[in-house]
Amino acid sequence: MAEAQAPASVAETKDALAAASYLADESAALVSFLAQRLGKPVLVEGPAGVGKTELAKALSRASGRELIRLQCYEGLDEAKALYEWNYRKQLLRIQAGGAQGGWDEVQDDIFSEEFLLERPLMQAIASPEPVVLLIDEIDKTDQEFEAMLLELLSDFQITIPELGQVSATSMPIVVLTSNNSRELTEALKRRCLYLWLDYPEMEREMEIVRLHAPDLSEALTRRLVEVVRMVRALDLKKPPSIAETIDWARTLLLMGSDDIDRETFEQSMSIIVKHRTDIDLVAERVGMKLAESVRPQS
C-alpha cells in the first residue's frame, strides 16, 4: 500500500491547511493530523455553514491529493455510490464475440473490471494516487447505507461478488460530514475520529475574513464580525455561515463602505440573512442597534 507523505506534527498540518486558505482551530488541525497519521476516517459534525465540507477540500489542496466527493441524499444506493456492471457493454461484448471462444471465456470476460462502472467510493479505493474522499451529508442517507459503508471505512476494501475483494491501493483520507439531523449509528461512529466544528470565536473569524478579504480595513472587519455574531445570537431559521460572512465582507468592499451603518446594513443584509421571517427579525433587532447613516442622503 503506497503510503502518502504524512505530516510530522500538528503545527505542520495547521500551516499546510492555512496555506490552502483554511484557518483550522486547534482541534480541527489535530484531527486532520491524526486522520493522516492513523489512516482513520473523520466524522465532522456541526451546524450548517461552519466549513465542514471546506475542511475536506482544504485537506485535498494541502496534501495535493485529488478530491473525490460523494454527495449523499435520501435513496442513495450502492449502484450510485459503489459500482455497477455496465450491462450495455456486457451485452455488446456477448453479441460481438459470439463466434469466438466458449461460454466460460465470455463469462470470465464480461465480469472483469473493464465492464465495471466505478462510482465515487470505488474510484477512491481503486485510485492509484492517494485521494481525499468526501462523503458529504451522510445523515441524509438511510441507515442501510451507513451499514454498507462500514466495510469501506474500517478496511478500505469493497467486496464485489463476481470479482472478490478490491482493496485500496493507496490510503485515502476519508472525511464524512453530517449536519446532525439524525443520530448516526454507533457502528459508524466507532470507526471514525470525531470532530465537532462550531462557529469560530471572534478572533478566528476575523482572521478568516482577513484571509479572504484582505483589503477590508481592520476596524470594519471587527465591526462586521461583531454584527454577524449578533445576528447569529438571534433565533433564526438559518444563521449566517462563515461563507456568508466572507461574501458580505466582499460586498462591503465593492460598495466601498467604511462603516456598517443602518443604511448599509439594510441594503446588504440579504447576503447573510436568507429567510423572509429572519429578515424582519434581524432588521428589527440588529438594524436598530446600528447608528443612523452619517453621510448625507443624496
Partner 1 sequence: MPSPYGPKADTGPPGLAAKLLGFCEELRSEGVAVGTSEILDAFAALEQVPWESRDDFREALATTIAKSQEDRRLFELLFERWFFRAAEAEAIEREIGETEQRHEGAERLDIDELREQIRQAIVDGDEGQMRDLARLAIAAFGQQGEGSGVVGVDVQRIRRTLELSAGTQPQPADGAAELPPIDRDQLNRFERHLRRELERDLIERTETLPPSRPLAELDRALPTSPTQDLAAVHRAVSQMKRRLATLGHEQRGRRKAQTVDVRRTMRASLETGGVPMHLRYRPKRPRRPEIYVLCDVSTSVTSASVFFLSVLHALHDSFRKLRSFVFIERISEVTEIFEHERDFREIARRISSEGGVADVSGYTDYGRVWLEFLTEISDELDPRSTVIVLGDARTNGREPHAEVFAQVSERAGRLFWLNPEPKLYWNYGDSVMAAYERYCDGAFECWTTRHLENFVNVVAGGVPAAE
Q: Which of 151, 201, 258, 280 binds partner 1 (CB under 8 A)?
A: 201
Outline where the chain has alpha helix (H): 10-19, 26-38, 52-63, 78-81, 87-96, 103-110, 120-126, 143-155, 186-190, 202-212, 218-233, 242-255, 262-268, 276-285
- Three-state DSSP class for residue 56: helix
Q: How far is the CB of 281 from partner 1 (least distance, A)?
A: 12
Q: Is 104 in the site for partner 1 (CB under 8 A)?
A: no
The 260-289 site mask, x for binding partner 1 (CB under 8 A), equals ------------------------------
Cell numbers for 11 = 503545527
Phi, psi of 248 (to 5 degrees): -65, -40
Q: Is 190 in the site for partner 1 (CB under 8 A)?
A: yes
User: For the chain, how big is the Rg over CA atoms in Å?
Assistant: 24
Q: Is 137 in the site for partner 1 (CB under 8 A)?
A: no
Q: Which is nearer to partner 1, 181 or 298 (CB)?
A: 181
Q: Is 74 in the site for partner 1 (CB under 8 A)?
A: yes
- Three-state DSSP class for residue 60: helix
Q: How far is the CB of 128 from partner 1 (least distance, A)?
A: 26
C-alpha distance across the termini of the chain, in Å: 68
Q: How far is the CB of 203 from partner 1 (least distance, A)?
A: 7
Contact positions vs partner 1 (CB under 8 A): 9-10, 26-27, 30-31, 33-34, 37-38, 40, 43, 45, 74, 85, 87-88, 90-91, 94-95, 98, 110, 142, 180-183, 186, 189-196, 201-203, 237
